[in-house]
A and B are shown apart, each in its own frame.
Chain A
Amino acid sequence: MPPLERRDRGHRLCPAPLSLRLVAPARRATPQPMADPLLSFTDRGIYCAAGDFYIDPWRPVDRALITHGHADHARPGHRRYLATEAAAPVIRHRLGEIDIDTIPYGEVRDVGGVRVSFHPAGHVPGSAQIRVEKAGEVWVVSGDYKTEPDGLCEPFEPVRCHAFISECTFGLPVFQWRPQVEIAAQIDDWWRANRAAGRISLLGAYSLGKAQRVLATLDPEAGPILTHGAVENVNEVLRAQGYPLPPTIRVTPDTKGRDHPGALVVAPPSALGSTWMRRFGTVSTAFASGWMQMRGVRRRRAADRGFVMSDHADWDGLNAAIADTGAERIFVTHGYTAIFRRWLAEQGYDAGIVETAWEGESLDQTDEAEA
Chain B
Amino acid sequence: MKRFAALFSALDQTTKTNAKVAALAEYFREAPEPDRLWTIALLSGRRPKRTVTSTLLRTWAAERAGIPLWLFEEAYPIVGDLAETIALILPDPSRQSDRSLADWIGVVRGLGKAEEAERKAAVLDAWDQLDRTERFVFNKLITGGFRMGVSQKLMTRALSQATGIDEPDLAHRLMGDWSPESTSFRALILEHDPAADLSKPYPFYLAYQLDDPPESLGAPADWAAERKWDGIRGQLVLRGGAHHLWSRGEELMTDRFPEFARLIDFVPPGTVIDGEVLAFQNDRPMAFAALQKRIGRKTVPKKLLTEAPVLLMAYDLLEWEGQDIRALPFAERRAILDDLIAPLPTEAPLRASPLLQFDTWEDLAAERAKSREMDAEGVMLKRRDSPYRDGRRKGDWWKWKVDPLVIDAVLIYAQQGHGRRANLFTDFTFAVRDGDALVPFTKAYSGLTDEEFRRITAWVRRNTTERFGPVRSVTPQHVFEIAFEGIQESPRHKSGVALRFPRMSRWRHDKPVEEANTLDDLKDMLAAYGGATP
Contacts and interface: CB of A to CB of B under 8 A. Distances in A.
Interface string B73-87: 011001111001100
Nearest to B461: A359
Interface string B13-46: 1111000000000000000000000000000000
Contact of B13 (A174, A293, A304, A342): A304
Interface stretch (B287-295, B403-411, B413-421): B413-421
B450 interface: yes
B422 A294 contact: yes
A216 B70 CA distance: 40
B14 A296 contact: no
A226 B461 CA distance: 37
Contact of B457 (A294, A303, A364): A364
Interface residues of B, number: 34
Contacts of A299: 12, 149, 420
Interface string A346-362: 10000000000001001
A232 to B, nearest CB: 27
B423 A304 contact: no
B78 A336 contact: yes
Contacts of A174: 75, 78-79, 85, 88-89
Given A174-B89, A363-B422, A295 B454 contact: no
A296 B418 contact: yes
B13 A297 contact: no
B68 interface: yes
Given A296-B79, A304-B15, A305-B13, A343 B421 contact: no
A223 B68 CA distance: 48
Given A176-B88, A367-B454, A296 B71 contact: no
A297 B89 contact: no
B75 A173 contact: yes
B516 interface: no
Nearest to B68: A346
A305 B11 CA distance: 11
A302 interface: yes
Contacts of B80: 294, 296
B335 interface: no
A281 to B, nearest CB: 14
Interface of B, helix, strand, loop or mixed by DSSP: helix
A203 to B, nearest CB: 14
A173 B450 CA distance: 27
A363 B416 CA distance: 12
A242 to B, nearest CB: 37
A321 B420 CA distance: 31
B13 A364 contact: no
A33 to B, nearest CB: 34
Contacts of A9: none
Nearest to A285: B15
A295 B12 contact: yes
Contact of B75 (A172, A304, A368): A172
Interface in A315-371: 336, 339, 342-343, 346, 359, 362-364, 367-368
Nearest to A306: B13
A210 to B, nearest CB: 19
Contact of A343 (B71, B79, B458): B71
Given A305-B13, A346-B68, A364-B454, A173 B423 contact: no
B300 interface: no
B75 A364 contact: no
Contacts of A300: 420-421, 450
Contacts of A364: 423-424, 454, 457-458
A343 B66 CA distance: 12
B526 interface: no
Contacts of A303: 15
Contacts of A295: 12, 81, 84
B67 interface: yes
A295 to B, nearest CB: 6
B154 interface: no
Contacts of A346: 68
A368 B451 CA distance: 10
A230 B72 CA distance: 39
A368 B454 contact: yes
Interface string A282-313: 00000000000111111110111100000000
Nearest to A295: B84
Contacts of B65: 173
A305 B13 CA distance: 5
B130 to A, nearest CB: 16
A172 B454 contact: no
A173 B67 contact: yes
B88 A302 contact: no
A296 B75 contact: no
A304 B458 contact: no
A367 B423 CA distance: 12
Contacts of A304: 13-16
Among A294, A339, A343, A368, chain B packs the most CB atoms within 10 A around the CB of: A294
Interface of B: 12-16, 65, 67-68, 70-72, 74-75, 78-81, 84-85, 88-89, 149, 418-424, 450, 454, 457-458, 461
11 contacts: A173-B89, A293-B88, A294-B79, A295-B12, A296-B79, A303-B15, A305-B13, A336-B78, A346-B68, A363-B422, A364-B423
Given A304-B13, A339-B75, 10 more contacts: A173-B89, A174-B79, A174-B85, A174-B89, A296-B422, A299-B149, A305-B13, A346-B68, A363-B423, A367-B450
Interface of A: 172-176, 293-300, 302-305, 336, 339, 342-343, 346, 359, 362-364, 367-368
